[in-house]
Amino acid sequence: LVARMRPFGETIFAEMSRLAVEHDAVNLGQGFPDTDGPRSLLDGAARRIRDGVNQYPPGPGRPELRAAVAEDRRLRYGLEYDPGSEVYITVGATAGIASAVLGLIEPGDEVVLFEPMYDSYAAVIALAGGVRRPVPLRPGPEADGGRFAFDPDELRAAIGPRTRMILVNSPHNPTGTVFTAAELEVIAGLCRDHGLIAVTDEVYEHLTFDGAAHVPLATLPGMRERTLAVSSVGKTFSVTAWKTGWVMGPAPLVRAVQTVNQFLTFTANGALQLAIADAVRDEHAWISAQRDSLAVRRDRLSQGLRAAGFGVLRPQGTYFVMTDIRPLGFTDGIEFARALPRTAGVAAVPAQVLYDTTAEGRHLVRFAFCKRDDVLDRAIDRLTTAF
């Protein structure tokens, strides 16, 4: 294994899902729903496969999906993208983010991002030979919901002469923070002042609760021309295995993504893209219903965890709730989460592994609530019995 990848072992999501299977635990670790996406989407894909849409689509993706994605951005956020040159389809958001970093970061360039962070970011920055400059998101008081936020001075201090890119994930995994327009304006101002490229991971864009609205960074003044926005079908339509994502941005930045991506995966699936195009256009009501139902399940799991003795920090979006294990008498989340499938029959993710430079997540454990009520209740029963 090359030296730059040696610090990266098995992903925490794979490890915890394996432990869950071994111990027959309720898996609230890896974030995937246990109900399917819209019927029309599943049928649409099956029909295309039966109808023989089974050969390579064009490298940048099916024109139908690129057009549907561009139209969706225009309707939802007022952002205009040319489907031919400014929208590009990838194998999940993961490949889009990887291609953006590999196509735009020179060895030694610095990337500013927030910690805790989704685990693929650190690995692809390392692959590109880039240098991470993480800025911590810290929870407010638990009594006020414990929303995670950054300190603008710390963000400012992280930017230096070698900074090339800022990577922003909102709604944020694992904290559930939805960045406000004011927070995004701080980021945008720094991008404009320092000539930075922004990559925005918006895979949870539709999953926001309590009236918190997702604001794409590209909608802020001067940002469309320097932002690559990434989203995907997995969380939008509860089909995480479909691994189909899209990158949207100004043509020169999208070309950088394309140049790398054509040699990583060449192209993505074809039949699914046609079905996804229909769903992106037609299934708005399904997306809203999914959001509402997730907000209820967030509350169900949060109440159960609180009753079991956890400290609970209230997420505004995503699939995840962060908990504090100190009220239960534990301090080390990694030890706690590794033992939990065996001791309680529940799997979760220790937040500390998603921190890069600080130990501030030591006592934090992430639980996924994108599960059926009976599954959440079984997990709550088991945790209440165990602690």
Binding site for ligand PMP (CB under 6 A): 92-94, 118, 169, 173, 201, 203, 232, 234-235, 240, 243, 245
Residue 77 contacts ligand GLN per CB under 6 A: no
Name the minimum Å distance from CB 98 to ligand PMP. Answer: 9
The CB-of-33 to ligand PMP minimum distance in angstroms stands at 11
In the complex, the smallest distance separating the C-beta of residue 143 from ligand PMP, rounded to whole angstroms, is 28
Smallest gap from Cβ 185 to ligand GLN, in A, equals 27
3 state DSSP class of 132? strand
In the complex with ligand GLN, the residue whose CB is nearer, 13 or 387, is 13
350 binds, among ligand GLN, ligand PMP, none (CB under 5 to 8 A by kind): none
11 binds ligand GLN (CB under 6 A): yes
Least distance CB 263 / ligand GLN (angstroms)? 22
Count the helix, strand and coil residues of the chain and give each as a percent rounded to the nearest 5: 45, 15, 35
Which residue, 169 or 302, has its beta carbon nearer to ligand GLN? 169
Comparison of 179 and 383: residue with beta carbon closer to ligand PMP: 179
Name the residue nearer to ligand PMP (CB basis): 120 or 163: 120
Q: What is the DSSP letter of 225?
A: G
Please, what is the Cα angle at 231 between 258 and 104, to 5 degrees?
35
Of 250, 244, 230, give the one whose Cα is nearest residue 277: 244
Residues 154-213 that bind ligand GLN (CB under 6 A): 173
Angle between helices 373-386 and 284-307 (to 10 degrees): 10
DSSP-derived secondary structure letter, 266: S
Q: Do the bridges between strand 197-201 and strand 346-347 make them parallel or antiparallel, or are there none, so unpaired?
A: unpaired
Nearer Cβ to ligand PMP, position 163 or 169?
169
Quick one: which of 19, 25, 30, 348 contacts ligand GLN (CB under 6 A)? 30
Q: What is the closest distance, in whole angstroms, from the C-beta atom of residue 96 to ligand PMP in the complex?
A: 8
Beta bridge partners of 113: 134, 167
Contacts of 93 (CB under 8 A, 6+ apart): 201, 203, 230, 231, 232, 234, 245
Nearer to ligand GLN, 119 or 282 (CB): 119
Shortest distance, CB of residue 285 to ligand PMP, whole angstroms? 23
Closest residue by beta carbon to ligand PMP: 92
Indicate the residue among 244 and 258 with the shorter CB distance to ligand GLN.
244
Judged by beta carbon distances under 5 to 8 A according to partner kind, the member of ligand GLN, ligand PMP, none in contact with residue 232 is: ligand PMP
Q: How many CA atoms lie within 13 A of 51 on its CB side?
A: 12
CB-based contact 295:302 (threshold 8 Å): no
Q: Which residues contact 148 (CB under 8 A, 6 or more apart)?
A: 137, 138, 139, 140, 172, 175, 176, 177, 313, 322
Give me 92's structure tokens: 């999940």
- Go through 248-279 and write b for each residue having 16 or more CB atoms within 10 A of its CB, e for each that does not: bbbeebbebbbebbeeebebbbbbbbbbbbbb
Phi/psi of residue 259, nearest 5 degrees:
-60, -40
- 352 in contact with ligand GLN (CB under 6 A): no
Q: State yes or no: residue 269 binds ligand GLN (CB under 6 A).
A: no
Q: How far is the CB of 258 from ligand PMP (least distance, A)?
A: 17
* C-beta separation of 353 from 119 below 8 A: yes
Asked if residue 13 binds ligand GLN (CB under 6 A), the reply is yes
Residue number, 65 or 328, with CB nearest to ligand PMP? 65
Q: Which residues make up the interface to ligand GLN (CB under 6 A)?
A: 11, 13, 30-31, 173
